[in-house]
Amino acid sequence: MKVIDFHSHILPGIDDGSKNVETSIEMLRRSKAAGVDIMIATPHFYADCDRIERFTEKRLGAYQKIEDQLGKDTPQILLGAEVAFFEGMDQAEKIDRLTINGSRIMLLEMPFRMWRQKDIDQVRNLIEERKFSLIIAHLERFMKTAGNKEYIEELMSLPVTIQINAESLSDWKQSHTLIKMFKRGQAHILGSDCHGIHHRPPNLMEGRQILGKKAGEACIRRLDEYGVDLLQQIKNDKMQE
């Protein structure tokens, strides 16, 4: 079964992730050697400092810089974005260009502040009115914000996919809670959220090992099955364009 890294910053020079082609290729080769088959490239998109057209052009350009070095020793790459939540995004035009590989699946990063009811309402509109399938990036980061508990519970009640960063499973302050979330089906997929070789390196397999040890291999199988189902949805959406 395919091992998929749903969150990575492997494209060179487009955000705070990989700074150059050499770093990108090394990150990719390390990931493949560890057992990762597919990586979703999810560079940051911030609506307050970039336009969608400009972003997608930069993303394609960054991919083309490494394209001729991809092969059997690197995972397959699918292009997406880590879309930072912004006011009015449920009404924004052209945000479908920020989805994964032209599908309806989008990696959404919620705001690093106290959430508000209208934030959750906009997420609901993205799902119900705009028909996006949302992956919520590293939910565990927002669980640390005092006052977000009710909104997090409401968000998790929606039909969203919860992505957890692999390195968070080794954080003793959160690991126990995150393991329980995976066991209960409240968390669904892992991402490395890798940004470089030395700082925030590719570590998806380390997270999988911790999860398998503490939650059991059945949990890993569910994780992989969920990921493959998402991958199939990405392919199906692409075919229907």
* pLDDT above 80 (res 241): no
- What is the pLDDT of the chain when averaged over all its residues? 96
Residue 171 phi/psi, 5-degree rounding, is -85, 110
Strands 105-109, 133-136: pairing kind: parallel
Q: At what angle do helices 117-128 and 149-157 cross, to 10 degrees?
A: 10
* 168: confidence class by pLDDT, cuts 50, 70, 90: very high
Q: Burial letters for 178-200: b for 16+ Cβ neighbours within 10 Å, e otherwise?
A: bbebbbeeebbbbbbbbbbbeeb
CA distance 175 to 24: 29
* pLDDT above 90 (res 189): yes
When the candidates are 2.40.70.10, 3.20.20.140, 3.40.109.10, 1.10.10.10, the CATH number that belongs to 4-239 is: 3.20.20.140
Residue 209 phi/psi, 5-degree rounding, is -65, -45
| Residue-wise pLDDT tens digits, 77-127 | 999 999 999 999 999 999 999 999 999 999 999 999 999 999 999 999 999
The pLDDT score that the predictor gives to residue 89 is: 97
The pLDDT score that the predictor gives to residue 146 is: 83
Enumerate the domain spans of the chain.
4-239
Both tokens of residue 222? 């569910």
Which residues lie below 8 Å from residue 120, measured CB to CB, with a gap of 6+? 151, 154, 155, 158
Tell whether the torsion through CA atoms of 95, 100, 102 and 103 is positive or negative.
Answer: negative
Structure pTM? 0.97
Proportion of the chain above pLDDT 90, given as a percent: 94
CA distance 84 to 62: 20
> Which is nearest to 85 in space by CA: 18, 178, 167, 160?
160
Degrees, nearest 5: CA angle 59-223-127? 60
CA distance 133 to 52: 19
* 237: confidence class by pLDDT, cuts 50, 70, 90: confident
- Residue 19 region by backbone torsions, left for phi larger than 0, else alpha for psi between -120 and 50, else beta: alpha
